[in-house]
Structure 1
Amino acid sequence: MITNLLIILIALHSGSRPAEAEPVFFKPPELSRVAQELVGSESNWPLVFQAAEYQSRENTFSLGIASQEALARFLANWQQMQESRNRYSGLIRNGAGVFAATEVARTDSLHQAFRNMVEKGDIDASVQLISDYSRSIDDMALALEVNRTVDVEARLSEKQGTVEYRRGLIGQWIAASVGNLFREADGVRTSTESTGTVTFVDGSDVELARNTTAIIRSSRLDRLTNTSDVEINISQGGLLTRLSADGIERSNYQISAGSATMTVKSSNFWAEKTDEDRVVMANYSGTTTVTAENEVIDLGRNQGTIVVRGRVPTQPVHLLSAPRMRWAATDSVIVRDRITLAWTPIQGAARYEVDISDSPSFDGWVRSFPSETTESTISDIPTGISHIRIRAFDDNDLRGIESPTYRLLRSTGTLPPYLFLTSGDPAEIYTSDPEYTLTGITEPGSTLKVNGKTIDLTPRGDFSVTLPLDQGSNTLELLVANASGSTTRQERSITRISEKKLFDLRWSSFAEEGRVRFAEDILITGRAYPPLEVVARVGDVEQVVPCGINGNWALSINPERNSDLTIALRYRNSKKVIGERTFRIE
């Protein structure tokens, strides 16, 4: 039967319709195999499912002539999509993420749109998106060819303050801009008031601290093996190396400073040339091999060493532990432009350093405040969100482990008050419980209303409110007003999951009151909720299928007579079961 269908589809694709063309039929268990053969992949089964008509009495799907033509048109384009996906992978390996970033983002968006249309069973839209995706791949390839040459492998991706660069070893230092590309022997330097980040083709970052000069001694790409060889020399100052997963696995990164050479296989490694003859190193993840005076040592996670010119590296030592802020939570709100921070003392610490930044990854503007005690007063804090971290240093200037990142919210009272929710998904929340506890933080002293009801705030601006839920969708309106009269309004949707909806099932065999008439093949479909998955068990056989973006799902079973079928619905992430029923096949 399937062979006949393939012959018909091939004929339709070739432009001729066989005289004997007629509707064809297949059973529910054949759906995945039919999808593999007719639309190229089992994952494309919704296209066949949507195009076919289901005849419940015969427990059979049928495909009419028009549906056959539509599937043939998709199949003719599916090979183009597969070839485009292979091209995409190759372009990413060759550096498209750096040199064609805009085109990569657009291509990713088109692929997601294609998968959404397939899941909806929309053949025409899927075919059009295959064509759009192929053209987007061509744009990626062109951008990569134009923007990347053999001797260009890194770019300035972030900077704060004035960062300078020079071409070659004897070039003039000139101001750098974000996006500047660097070749072998180029230099990059920061001042006492600036920082910069250099990104390499494999996605690895090298962050230059203040008052640092670094030279890219070597930067080569082996096109055959697609591996990078990078060597960076620290003339002065310090840098943080954050290798990507590809950088750790496929590339060779070497940092040289003073008499030390470091081979880095770490996503978080710090090296600093504290003076002409002394280098301190701290490794926070992965491994780093340090060589000096023909002596080799390996640094593991949270280990450090020191190299002094003319001496072998010191044996690895454990880095100081992370300080902890004396706050009750990781968030705090202030209205003034200064705050005194206090943190837990670390045994063996000689001094501390506090960083404050507008970025949670500290790759934007960063200010650092040294302290010899466990307190520091930070001033000139800008309005908005700032991020804070603390680290300790021992007597040898080895950097310790960084604290968790703390968030500081500063409001002047003339701007709309802040409102952050700390519970649930930011877009839509699903729960099977009859009530939901909403938590968050806002500007202290403000007035918060949820659906018109005033909610109490703590002195810090925290709040927690338990809300009863109706079945189905519940819309929450949050309105917060500060003392100046400025307001912030947010809406959240909370869907209370209905068990009745979960088990509103459609069967290909007669079913009533927990009993299902036996058939060799039984198709079950339902509509639940996007974050759920369906688990069906018959004897020792278990199937798990995810719900689609609209909550739809379908599965086929081959039961034995007088057996039990258990259907459970659970959250995909937590695996928490929210509904389960057993049916008797007889």
Structure 2
Amino acid sequence: MDAPRSPRRTVRFLIALAAILSALPLGYFLFLHEPPAAPPPPAPVVPEVPRPPEQAPVARSSLKLEEIHGTVEVRRGNGEWHAVRPGEALHPSDAVRTLEGSYAVLVNGETVEVRMEAGTEVSIEALTDTLSRLMLANGMTTTRVKPGARQTFEVRAAGSDAVARTEGGRFTMSNNGKGTVAVGTQEGEVAFIGQGKVVIVRAGQQSIIRPGRGPSDPTPIPTSLLLKVNWPARPTLTRRQMVVSGQTEPGSHVDIEGQIIPTDDQGRFSKTLPLQEGSNTVRIHALSVGGLRQELKRDLNVDTTPPKQVIVDPGMWNDPRPDGQ
């Protein structure tokens, strides 16, 4: 039989067994245990893109006929021309025209006022709270734009690339419909554009665009308006019509007895004017983009009565005296 173990050996054995048992978890962790998978990296923070503010619909501005004198007509879109009354509203694609001896005033509240002279036609291209644009087909307009109203006003010229633009002031623009466009500024300043050239026409200045050319350099508005007329050499005419011709400043508005006569790029004009039997007073009126006016008149008499026939007494050929006496 084996001898009984001594207590000392028993204590050693128990201590060793305890050490082995305590080392097992550490060994498992170091050699057998698989470390947990690394956590996925955090998702990148994508900055939130602010949504663009919803654009409100473009505000429409109003334009109406405030004052009418004579016959003024409007055309809606591609419709027919018809007479209008004061207070009627105008919209983009509408057109307005003043007949001979007439005028009209268009307004946009207290911001814009446009006066159309006789024989003028404009069409509305744009009307918003920040931009108003008209097309001047022919004739003459005077526009006033209230400064500081944050309103850009443009007038384009039909038959040309000419544009007049202002954000405040008063200016007159004319278009003969054949490429001659003139601008005169009474208040503020106007950008006058054509053929890629831009000039600034300030108060008291005027500029002109001729066919195929850019605007001329601004010049001071003259103190008087040139108006020459080729009157008949004799005050009595034997026909019931006459050719009235003459010359004025290019871009001016010429009115002969209520009839609007277009001028060419040199300011020349010509018109066959009907007359009545007897006394006639012919008046010719010119208006420049600088606001200058000039009028000439002439009293003429028309007498188309044929000359009286000369009655010859047949007896005057019967001389009772003998031949040779």
* TM-score normalised per structure 2: 0.51
2:150 aligned residue (250, 272, 293): 250
- Give 1:63-462 correspondences, 5 Å limit: 150-151=59-60, 153-168=62-77, 170-221=78-129, 228-246=130-148, 249-257=149-157, 258-321=160-223, 398-402=288-292
Structure 1 Cα separation of the partners of residues 180 and 170 of structure 2: 21
Shift of 1:350: 6.0
Q: Structure 1 residue 243: deviation in Å?
A: 1.6
Distance 2:61 2:168 in 1: 23
Change (3 A) 1:297 1:179: same
Q: 1:150 to 1:201 in 2, by over 3 A?
A: farther
The superposition leaves residues 555-579 of structure 1 with CA deviations (integer Å, 9 ceiling, x where unpaired) of xxxxxxxxxxxxxxxxxxxxxxxxx
> Is 2:100–2:260's contact at 8 Å kept on the other side of the alignment?
no
SS at match of 1:285: strand
Aligned to 2:128, what secondary structure does the other structure show? strand
The number of aligned residues is: 187
Residue 528 of structure 1 corresponds to none
Which of 1 and 2 has higher RCO (CA within 8 Å, sep 6+)? 2
Following superposition, the deviation at residue 401 of structure 1 comes to: 4.5
Cα deviation, 1:322-376, whole Å, max 9, x if unaligned, reads 68xxxxxxxxxxxxxxxxxxxxxxxxx7699999xxxxxxxxxxx8999xxxxxx
Deviation of 1:165 after TM superposition, in Å, equals 0.8
Q: Cα RMSD between the aligned structures? A: 3.2
SS in 2 for 1:275: coil
| Partner SS, residue 187 of structure 2 | coil
Letter in 1 for 2:76: R
Structure 2: unaligned runs, 5 residues or longer: 1-57, 226-247, 262-284, 294-325
Choose 1 or 2 for highest CA Rg.
Answer: 2
Structure 1: unaligned runs, 5 residues or longer:
1-148, 222-227, 324-348, 356-366, 371-390, 404-586
Shift of the 320–235 alpha-carbon distance from structure 1 to 2, 3 Å rule, reads same
- State how far apart, in whole Å, the 2-side matches of 1:369 and 1:282 are: 20
3-state secondary structure, aligned to 1:157: strand
Q: 1:369 to 1:236 in 2, by over 3 A?
A: closer
TM-fit CA distance, 1:265? 3.7
Q: C-alpha separation between the residues in 2 aligned to 1:259 and 1:354?
A: 23
Q: 1:350 to 1:313 in 2, by over 3 A?
A: closer
Give 1:173 deviation, angstroms.
1.3
How far off is 1:275 after superposition? 3.4
Give how far 1:267 is off: 3.3
Tell me the TM-score normalised to structure 1 length. Answer: 0.29
AA in 2 matched with 1:240: T
Q: Distance in 2 between matches of 1:259 and 1:251?
A: 22
From the superposition, tell whether residues 369 and 311 of structure 1 become closer, same or farther in structure 2 (CA, over 3 Å): closer
8 Å contact kept, 2:169–2:189: no
Return the alpha-carbon distance in structure 1 between the equivalents of residues 193 and 164 of structure 2. Answer: 6
CA gap 1:184/1:287 in 2 versus in 1, 3 angstroms? same
Change in CA separation of 1:317 and 1:159 when aligned onto 2, cut-off 3 Å: same
Letter in 2 for 1:157: E
Measure the CA separation in 2 of the matches of 1:316 and 1:269: 13
Is the 1:243–1:266 contact (alpha carbons within 8 Å) kept by the matching residues of 2? yes
Q: Distance in 2 between matches of 1:183 and 1:260?
A: 23
AA paired with 2:171? F
Relative distance call for 1:175 and 1:368 in structure 2 (3 A) is closer
1:182 positional shift: 0.8
Q: Aligned partners of 1:210 and 1:164: how far apart in 2?
A: 12
- For residues 286 and 80 of structure 2, the distance between their equivalents in structure 1, rounded to whole angstroms, comes to 38
Contact 1:272 1:280 in 2 (8 A): yes
CA–CA distance in structure 2, aligned partners of residues 353 and 189 of structure 1: 16
Q: Which amino acid aligns with 1:163?
A: V
User: 1:242-298, CA deviations, whole angstroms, 9 ceiling, x for partnerless residues?
Assistant: 12234xx41000110122011124432111112321111111110000111111110
How far does the alpha carbon of each residue in 1:31-71 deviate from its partner, in whole angstroms, 9 at most, with x for none? xxxxxxxxxxxxxxxxxxxxxxxxxxxxxxxxxxxxxxxxx
Is the CA contact 1:302–1:401 (under 8 Å) kept in the aligned structure 2? Answer: no
The aligned amino acid for 1:233 is M
Q: Which amino acid aligns with 1:255?
A: V
Structure 2 distance, partners of 1:192, 1:354, is 12
